[in-house]
Structure 1
C-alpha cells in the first residue's frame, strides 16, 4: 500500500513522500525558468526543469538530502527519510526555506502512549514539549542547527553539539582492537519483548559550497554494489575540483558506551549480590577520551577505486571492576574483561562516494549471568559529510556516536551525532526497560 506524507510551511515550500518518491516544491522566482534539484549526498543533479516542483526517486536507503536551485542559486533544502516500521520509526520530512525550517516526524508507526509527549531540543538548549509531531523553527536556509526529538515522559533530550570545523583530536594512530570487519551477514531483528522509545535527530545544515561539492566528484565509475543505484548527471568538472584545495581522505564513525559516574550500584538481580558496586568511567560527552566500557570505531577510506576492504572496524572492551563497601571502605574488589565475541562490524557496501556498514553488539558484563550491552547500529556514510545513522540499543550505559572527517591537508572536522543518557544497570536485563530506537540524518 502506498502512503502519502506531506509537509507544508507557511511559505510556498513543501515536500511530499509518495511511496519511494519525494516530491519537493518551491516558490517560483520572477525571471527564472531554469530549476534543478541537487542530491547533496553525492553531488549529482537528479532533476532539471522549468516548473517550481519536481519528482525524485528514493533509493533503497529511503533517505535524501536535496537542494532546489534557481539557475545556480539555492532556494530551498529538503531532508527526507522514509518509515522504518521494524524500529517503530515514522517518516521524517525537513524543509528549509529562505526564512524558516519545518520539522515533521509523522507518528503513524509510533503513536503516543498515555502520559507520553514529544520533547524537542535544539543544539545545547533545554527541551521544549510539543503537542504534536510537527513544528516550525526559525532556522533559514544557510544557517545550521541540530535538533533532537524524543518520545518520552519527563526526561529531557541531550542533543549533540554542532562540531563544525573546530579543532578535533586525531583518531588514535593505532586503534585498539583487531582492525577487521566482516562482509554482509544476516542482521538480527530489534527486540519485541518491550515497546521502543523512538528518537529522531535532524542536523539542519547550509547547502554545500562548490568546493565541498567538487570533493564528491570522481572520474572513475565503480561497478561494485550496483544496487546503490546508477549515477545521475554530475555538476562537477576537473577545474572546479582542482580549486578545492583539500579533499576528504577518510571518514570515521566512533560508537562508545560509557558510565558517566565514578561508580554505579549493581542491579537487584542477575549479577549476584545486590551489594556490589561497579566502577564507572567518570566522564561526560567527549571524543576519543579513552574512557569507556565498550568502543567500536569504523574507518572509511576514500579513493578513486572502491573495495569493501576500505572499511575497517576496530573493537574494544575495557575491564569491568566491581567492589563492595564496608563503612565507606572498599572491600572485595575484583576485575574481569569481557571477550570481544558478540561485537561485529559488518561491511555491506562501498563505492567511491558512499559506504554502508553496521555494528551488531552484544557485550556481556563478565560478572552477570545475563545482561548484555545490546545494540544494532546501521551507518550510511557519504564522502560529502552526509549521513544516515539508525538502529536500537539498551538504555544502559550512555550511548554516544561521533563522525569525523579527515582531509588531505591534515585538517579535521568533528560532529557529535548523538549522546543518549542511561537509566541504570537494570536496563541490561530482559523485559525491565523499553529499548531506544533512533534515526539521525543531515
Structure 2
C-alpha cells in the first residue's frame, strides 16, 4: 500500500528526470582562445559530420559544464571566414600648430619618391614669430597600403595622466585638396582601481587615399604620438577544398552507386577513372533515403584524365547547387559502361559552429541524435550587432575541440521509449488490483 502510494505521488518526477547525455551520440570538449571572447567559432571536422544524423545539422549543440544548452548555430564557411587584416606601421610626420591671429604664416613643403611615397615634410615660416609647439596634428602617408583603410591605430607614451580626447581625420590625393572622412573620433586611455580601458583606433570605414591628416578637434587636448598603424580592409583567405573519395558498386543496368557516411555540405564533384587514364560522359544523382526518388545534381558532362609529355591533364570539378547532404549518390554514363567502377570525389568546405559562451565553462559540443534538436536562437543577429559595434574586421574568437567522448552511442539513434504511458498504465493497473483486494476484504468481513 505504501509503495503504491509513493509511486502514485512520485511518478511524474521519475518521468521528467532525464540526463541530456543520454540523447547524444558523442561530444567534444572545447578549449576557448581567451576568457572574454563572448562569442566563439569552431570549424567542424569530418568526425563531427559523420556523427550528425539530421540533414540540417540540427543535432549539433554546445552545452556548458552543467549540461545546459547555450545559444548555438551553424554557419557556412563564407559567413565566418578568417580575415587577413594585420595592422601596418606607416610613416607619419608631426605638423606645426595652426596659425593664430596676428602670428606668422607658414607653408608646407613635401618631397615624394618615384612611387609617390612621402620622404620628407618641411614647414617654412614666412614671417618671424615665436616658436610654436606642435598641437598633436600629424600627416600620415598610407600610399603603400593597397586595400581601403578600415581604421588607424595610434600609439602614445604610457603615463599616469588620463587620456580622453577626440581627433578629426581628413584625406587627400594630392596634399592640396582635403576632405573630412571622420568628423570626430574618440581616443581613451583611462585607469581606475586596477582597471584600464583604452581606445586607440580611429574608424574610417574603408577610405582610399594616399594621405591622411590628423588633428585634434576644437577644444580637445593633443596627443604626443609614438606610432601610427594602418588597418586595411580584411581580405578573405581562400580556404582549401576538402575531398571525399568514395568507392562505388556497379549495378546490372550500368549505373554505379556510392554511399556517403556523413552530413557533409557537398558542392563539387569529380570522377576519377579506375585506370590511369580515361574519359566518360557522366550524370550525377543523389537521394537521402533508399526509398526516395533520385534527383539529378549535375550533368551530363565529359570527365577525363589523360597523360602526356607535360604531365597529367584532367577535367575541372563540377559545381553542384547546394550544399547537398544526401547519403546516397549515383553515377550514370551515356553509352556503354564497362570495367572497374571509377572513384567519385565529392568536395566541400567545412562549416563552423558559432556559439555564445553563456553559463559555466568548460563547454562541449554534442553531436548525433534522433531524440533532441538544437533550438533556434538569434545568434546571427547578435553577431551582426557585435560586428557593427566593433568594426567589420571583428570575428568571434576561436574554439578548438579535444578528443571525442562517447555519450549514449547508438542508443541515441533509437527512438526514446514513452515511459510515461507505460508507467501510467502500470499505476492504473496497480490501483485496480488494490481496489479489487479491498473489495474482497470487505466481502469476507460481511460474510463473517
Which TM class, normalised by the smaller chain length?
A: under 0.3
1 or 2 for the larger relative contact order (CA 8 Å, sep ≥6)? 2
TM-score by length of 1: 0.20
TM-score by length of 2: 0.20
Q: Which has the higher helix share?
A: 2
Larger Rg: 2
